[in-house]
């Protein structure tokens, strides 16, 4: 049986030192039938030279360069569109793969197919890393539906799925300033069904406080909430309320204001939800 090809994408901009570790983690995979597509989002820090040198040494690497900064969602979409793999997964330039990740994900997909288990995409557990040290492992649930994603992003930031799933769902929304992963996952499970967990810690997720992650920026998260709620919950006030609570999760460190509580209450009577929001103010 032919081993299907996997395409891995990494968008990057001006973080060549971190990128080098991410690239090494992909090239060190136990399985070898993959391509790595690195999209250089107009870096000016030596990234281009590093990628040129690395790609000349390993033909599994393809480099795409944006002439001007286009952002991570556009860079991911460009990689997905040009990918030759049957399956696609991604990696952020400040994170790393465990060596078994690609092989384990592929085998998990084959197992689901063998036993006719419906699945839209697969996600795995994360190893949390801070200042170079492992500090814990995620405890994600085994299956995720659309309603679960309103509560929080139970999937994380990377999935493994056929290229047709990414394309069929419409790729990443390039208008979003944050929550691009969450919103794409919403569309994927809406159209293709349940997302399922491979219960192995295969992704090294860097949570070092100094890291400049988009998800930590208050204005962008608030703007993303407005866009996502308009897209998916235009006629569902309770859905808007549930999604609003996600803005104020401990992950973002954003505290609700009095205006937030007024806006929340204006969407309808939900005492338990309002009490939860008020609790997050203190």
* pTM confidence score: 0.94
Co-location of 127 and 260 in the same domain: no
The pLDDT, as a whole number, for residue 50 is: 97
Please tell me the total count of domains within the chain. Answer: 2
Q: Quick one: pLDDT band at residue 1, thresholds 50, 70, 90?
A: very low
Residue 1 placed within a domain: no
With both helix axes pointing from N to C terminus, report the angle between 271-279 and 258-266 in degrees, rounded to the nearest 10. Answer: 170
| 247 and 268 fall within a common domain | yes
Domain limits at 30?
A: 6-206
Q: Do 95 and 169 meet the contact criterion of CB atoms below 8 Å apart?
A: no
Report how far residue 276's alpha carbon sits from residue 190's, in angstroms, rounded to the nearest whole number: 27
Question: Same domain for 23 and 143?
Answer: yes
Residues 36 and 133 in one domain: yes
User: Is residue 238, in this structure, part of any structural domain at all?
Assistant: yes
- Helix 180-192 × helix 218-232 angle, to 10°: 20
**Mean pLDDT over each residue of the chain, to the nearest integer:** 95
Question: pLDDT per residue over 112-139, tens digit each?
Answer: 999 999 999 999 999 999 999 999 999 9
pLDDT of residue 214 exceeding 60, the answer is no
Instruction: Please identify, among 153, 175, 206, the residue that sits at the C-terminal boundary of a domain.
Output: 206
* Boundary (domain end) residue, out of 182, 206, 230: 206
256 and 183 share one domain: no
Of 206, 233, 256, the one marking the end of a domain is 206
**Closest of 197, 7, 8, 31 to residue 100, by C-alpha:** 31
CATH number, position 59: 3.90.550.10
pLDDT per residue over 246-263, tens digit each?
999 998 889 999 999 999
pLDDT of residue 4: 61
Query: In terms of domains, do 133 and 166 share one?
Result: yes
227 with 270, same domain: the answer is: yes
pLDDT digits (tens, 9 = 90+) for 46-59: 999 999 999 999 99
């Amino acid at each position: 049986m032919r081993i299907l090809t996997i395409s891995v994408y990494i968008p990057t901009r001006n973080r060549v030192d971190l990128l080098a570790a991410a690239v090494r983690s992909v090239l060190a995979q136990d399985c070898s039938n993959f391509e790595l597509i690195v999209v250089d989002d107009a870096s000016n820090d030596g990234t281009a030279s590093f990628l040129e040198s690395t790609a000349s040494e390993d033909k599994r690497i393809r480099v795409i360069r944006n002439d001007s900064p286009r952002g991570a969602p556009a860079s991911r979409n460009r990689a997905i569109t040009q990918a030759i793999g049957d399956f696609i997964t991604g990696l952020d330039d400040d994170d790393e793969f465990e060596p078994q990740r690609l092989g384990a994900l592929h085998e998990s997909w084959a197992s689901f197919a063998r036993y006719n288990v419906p699945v839209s995409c697969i996600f795995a557990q994360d190893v949390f890393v801070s200042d170079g040290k492992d500090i814990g492992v995620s405890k994600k649930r085994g299956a995720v539906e659309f309603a679960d994603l309103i509560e929080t992003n139970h999937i994380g930031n990377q999935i493994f799925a056929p290229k047709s799933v990414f394309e069929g769902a419409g790729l990443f929304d390039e208008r979003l300033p944050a929550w691009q992963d969450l919103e794409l996952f919403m569309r994927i499970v809406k159209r293709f069904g349940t997302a399922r967990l491979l219960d192995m810690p295969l992704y090294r997720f860097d949570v070092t406080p100094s890291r400049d992650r988009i998800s930590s920026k208050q204005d962008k998260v608030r703007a993303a909430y407005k866009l996502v709620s308009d897209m998916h919950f235009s006629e569902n006030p309770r859905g808007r309320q549930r999604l609003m609570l996600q803005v104020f999760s401990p992950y973002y460190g954003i505290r609700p204001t009095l205006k937030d509580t007024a806006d929340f209450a204006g969407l309808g009577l939900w005492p338990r939800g309002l009490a939860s929001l008020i609790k997050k103010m203190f």
